[in-house]
Structure 1
């Protein structure tokens, strides 16, 4: 199973504009009830978890029915969730409860989803609501709060003689070289061929910056986004240097995602840059689950920040005829199922929820886990607008592949040349977006 929302590439808003024409908002029905036994009806819950829809989710339904005996829950799992759900959302029939596709512009959420409450009402209970809030109303609750960094095999690191986890980019590259020199494992697996897996690197941008304000507040207001010394430059320099030094897979063009998970689990790979959503998937094929570890992406920042972001958000179809039952499921799933920890290997969206055991060592070391600061008022979505206008592809694999190809000698260009192209595109697009917004 691939990454869900956080780390999936955003689809074209232009394509969606035509697809979603004709959908209207309808808010004349209640979305909740205080009496569990008084809630009744039949609902369809659509999920991306094809791997557990017939097992774990059936158990969830049984537990849910102990509290809500008069609600029948049906499940549908989509293998290509984003692609398939956007087609269904061109009609009114897209289930009762579903995961909000990342491809829907935030301002369009009221046309498709029932408001779950005001942000002020819900913010003290849940983390990560900002991403799916419009005009003070929240339309989705994260199914998990994911974190990103490096997933690694502890045994491989031990066999390579690495006694302390690397904290800086230079130390990380040194560790990868030790793995190459002293073991048979691939030091750093890029998953180049999958494309989408390369977008995982972008999730660690805030770690390189060392501040939760950088991504949404500083980045859209700077013309130095890809210049030397800046977070983007330093982040992807690690990828370039690792590839140039032969510390990645021998033939990146033939990599396979499913195989890579098993190879990392079994010690054939040292490390991969991924989100926490992948941890349990990798552990499931490991001879010893304790061999799988997580570390923050190496950084030179004085403060080690691991950003938290909402995974897919759970929402209610605005056209649902059983909104009270749908809301009951949303509340039960987010509060009672423990899906976030047990199935997503991440953190519960409930405020005050304990950290997973895999992260406890970093809490003791002073590593900070925080959600990113939202965009400033009037700049909502500005990074995406600049990204699209400049055809940069922050959450697309293209320039990451370009970096790898240049590093291994398949493209006649330097890392600095690539960064200059990206920065020039950013500066031009930023000016164009500013001019457009000023009209």
Structure 2
């Protein structure tokens, strides 16, 4: 796992110059259509704000037109793998960090190290380093989203509980909310049909217990810390106070309606739920705190923006990317992605932080957060992820012993690796 470190500082990224062979298709000044794939286009309110930010390019280049390719999050990676593997797919795409190594290894991303002007490269922060593969910059950071525990202030008050700071407190508070309000006290992803995002979400638990997936070039899936994390996860699952069976779309909708007490989720998800929401007002209806685990560690989700190697409009796509990392475009992106850390030193408007006071809790977690890509096993992360989550699902659904389940996962992953 890779530390986010001092991402909030304006660290200069020394980008290795790489040859992309120039763009193909018509020159950028002749325009054309760019298809942009992103599951975030489907997010209420925020999707529209993001689209407005990226389509500002059409004013800079009136002959260009951007078109959305909106794919649900759970189907996003499998859909793009099919399309891009067949030399099709979008021109521009959002790339989850756990998906990046697979695309990079298979040569499906266009090198972009020569796209940005020196003054714009100087504004890049450390989040962009994770999009380098074999010394080539294959994408740039779109956003880095951190995690925290957050809650509905009204439901906690009705249940007569304080925000929890440890796991026993989390379980007790969730049960109290369920008993006294009739609403689920807690929600988190827990199903294999959301495998890719579940992996990132679940990594908060082992990281928060001082564990992780590898160390020193060796897998550590069955470490005592990870076993403790899965045991705690199972305790929450069995509490009777969790929204078991709900996928993320369902329990996020419930939180938005004021019908979930607490969640562990990322800043982008929370912003989507409370933006313009009268049932759970962002300024007064939400509280947030550090994860209720023994350690300080947590997961984060990094998303990059890159260009399809097989795009027929690479010259135009590169011109869009150059525009997007200009100062003015990044200001618009920071406003639209205000709850997240973006790839440059651009900051969200001060009014945004005042209107959404919980945002600072997420941003403060950045130095202790890490991605869910397995160090030393980057290109094997999807296969190892599947092995591990299948075993964790057995713990949840079939009451398998956490230690035995993670030992099996360790053995199977070592064979694969």
Structure 1 length as normaliser, TM-score?
A: 0.70
Aligned to 2:252: 261
> Is the counterpart of residue 27 in structure 1 residue 20 in structure 2?
yes
Which of residues 75, 78, 82 is equivalent to 2:71? 78
Matched-pair contact (CA < 8 Å) for 2:112–2:137: yes
Taking the TM superposition and a 5 Å limit, the aligned residue runs for 1:51-70 are 51=42, 55-56=48-49, 59-60=52-53, 63-70=56-63
Give yes or no for contact 1:42–1:72 (8 Å, CA) kept in 2. yes
Q: C-alpha root-mean-square deviation of aligned residues, in Å?
A: 4.0
Q: What do residues 187-232 of structure 1 show as CA deviations (whole Å, max 9, x unaligned)? A: 113455674264454231464145xxx6465285365x3344x1x2
8 Å contact kept, 2:184–2:242: yes
Unaligned residue ranges in structure 2 (runs of 5+): 1-18
* SS of residue in 2 equivalent to 1:289: coil
Partner of residue 419 from structure 1, selected from 373, 382, 403: 403
Report the CA distance shift for 1:380/1:169 in structure 2 as closer, same or farther (over 3 A): same
Shift of 1:238: 2.6
TM-score normalised by the chain length of structure 2 = 0.73
Mapping for residues 135-214 of structure 1, pairs under 5 Å? 135-163=134-162, 165-190=163-188, 192=190, 195-196=193-194, 198-205=198-205, 207-209=207-209
Q: Is the 8 A contact 2:222 2:409 kept in 1?
A: no
Following superposition, the deviation at residue 73 of structure 1 comes to 2.9
CA distance change for structure 1 residues 256 and 139 in 2, over 3 Å: closer, same or farther?
Answer: closer
1:130–1:374 Cα contact (<8 Å) kept:
no
Match of 2:235 among 234, 237, 241: 241
* Higher RCO (CA < 8 A, seq sep 6+): 2
Paired residues in the alignment total 375
Shift of 1:113: 1.7
Distance in 1 (CA, whole Å) between partners of 2:216 and 2:147 is 19
Classify 1:150/1:340 alpha carbon distance in 2 versus 1 (closer, same or farther; 3 Å): farther
Q: Distance in 2 between matches of 1:104 and 1:194?
A: 20
**Which residue does the alignment assign to 1:372?**
370
Residues 55-76 of structure 1 show CA distances to partners (whole Å, capped at 9, x for unaligned) of 5466346522333344333333
Q: Secondary structure at the match of 1:146?
A: strand
Distance 1:281 1:380 in 2: 33
In structure 1, what is the equivalent of residue 13 of structure 2?
Answer: none
Relative to structure 1, is the Cα distance of residues 419 and 179 closer, same or farther in structure 2, using a 3 angstrom cutoff? same
Contact 1:194/1:257, CA 8 A, preserved across alignment: no
Match of residue 17 from structure 1: none
3-state SS, counterpart of residue 310 of structure 1: strand
1:264 is displaced (CA, Å) by 1.2
